[in-house]
Chains A and B, each alone.
Chain A
């Protein structure tokens, strides 16, 4: 890897891992609690019921499903708009580096931060669960790898959507925009299913603009299916948003200081 890009990546990671981000990452721990078997174990114990079986793939999928959006929101706040505002983008881009490489390095740092944070949350929650159950979880490496791949793809998709918003909204507003987009996506899916269930173009549009198919792929892996259509649609949507953010970053004004 180019030493300049490696250094830029290291600087971006250092800039991401500030005290507020560490606090927000710790906040993700209780958010993931309902999706780990801890609460079910406690309730069953209180009722003298059987201790549930700890299925690692199922729990990891549930924790990623619950936290990916929040993680992406926290870490990708101001990913472009904030950098234009604080002058970092102008400073770096005065050097021989393209906007696309700059954005690729930034997005890689954000995605890695989100992914590692959720992995850490999952390790802590599942470690506590295993200790409470006095049992080692059942591990299916291939299934787990596919779930992690689907979840990683979903995180990249969320970060790409946040990046597209950040090209147009100042500062950290992309964080709210991504959240609203997710709510809108949920509403659109319900509407399409309820009223336009036989209109395939609406389904296609819904899948592309409000993408959840990579999460769907991870879910299907749990059912011992390999939903290639989910994987393909999810990847298509991811490609659409990645193309969008790399296109928009090329046309925005990177220096908004006044004359």
Chain B
């Protein structure tokens, strides 16, 4: 595996589902980009564009047909890469028998081999979850469960965090808390890949945005100095182009 200073390095990544069937689905086609350490990068695109497939490959859950992804120069499924990453899933695990505290302690032990109660308490406080620590995961609302998943993703101060629709179930105050939290993490040098359909939030949070459509990377935009509504315009122009073609 090639060593690189980039947090995420993607080279000619391609993936097709059911390639021998009558209707193969091309999820990713020759996608290449780099994300530097310390950046917050948005990943946007219409439904079925290939964003989730990319996340699965980047997390080592799915093998690409060709090309490769490296995380700080390591293969995504290697333990070296896993030690440096956090992941907040969109479809979250729930259980009647696993309490929030147990879930977070387990992730802390898996990530760093130790539990840091102060760090955990601080993050639970930030997301107003302190009173929920003894509740089971299944007893929580979708929004609260999402906040637990966000806390989980940042346990052990990972260098790179994948956020999959982090604001999907959050109420506005929680979205503001998340923004503050991400700003703090950015200051400490954490790289964040922020996959979302919420364009306003992506504009607020991200330094750069990658636009994926039909498995191809069709846009890579620096967000500095861009007006509010820039991403919406991009989306609209893509729809017009699609209709024209």
Contact = CB atoms under 8 A, between A and B. Distances in A.
A257 B110 contact: no
A95 interface: yes
Contacts of A257: 52, 89-91
B134 interface: no
Interface in A245-259: 253-255, 257-259
A255 to B, nearest CB: 4
Nearest to A102: B110
Interface stretch (A11-19, A107-115, A203-211): A11-19
A229 interface: no
Give the most central of A11, A88, A95: most B CB within 10 Å. A95
Contact of A14 (B48, B93, B98): B98
A87 interface: yes
A3 interface: yes
B27 to A, nearest CB: 7
Interface in B71-100: 79, 82-83, 85-87, 89-98
A43 interface: no
Nearest to B51: A259
A255 B62 contact: yes
A193 interface: no
Interface string B177-206: 000000000000000000000000000000
A172 B169 CA distance: 30
Give the most central of A7, A15, A17, A92: most B CB within 10 Å. A7
B109 A4 contact: yes
Query: Which interface class (under 10, 10 to 19, 20 to 34, 35 or more) fits A?
Result: 20 to 34
Given A259-B27, A259-B51, A259-B53, A3 B113 contact: yes
A259 B48 contact: yes
Interface in A107-156: none
B6 interface: no
A96 B79 contact: yes
A44 interface: no
Contacts of B52: 257-259
Interface in B24-63: 27, 47-53, 56, 59-62
Given A91-B89, A254-B61, A96 B53 contact: no
Query: Which interface class (under 10, 10 to 19, 20 to 34, 35 or more) fits B?
Result: 35 or more
Contacts of A4: 106, 109-110, 113
A18 B86 CA distance: 29
B111 interface: yes
A97 interface: yes
A223 interface: no
Interface in A1-25: 2-4, 7-8, 11, 14-15, 17-18
Nearest to A86: B93
A98 B80 CA distance: 11
A90 B51 CA distance: 17
B16 interface: no
A95 B111 contact: yes
Given A92-B110, A94-B85, A96-B82, A18 B96 contact: yes
B107 interface: yes
Contacts of B50: 259
Contacts of B105: 7
Nearest to B106: A7
Nearest to A13: B97
A94 B93 contact: no
B102 interface: yes
Given A15-B97, A94-B82, A255-B61, A87 B89 contact: yes
Interface of A: 2-4, 7-8, 11, 14-15, 17-18, 86-88, 90-98, 253-255, 257-259
9 contacts: A3-B113, A3-B114, A4-B109, A86-B94, A88-B93, A90-B61, A94-B89, A95-B82, A253-B62
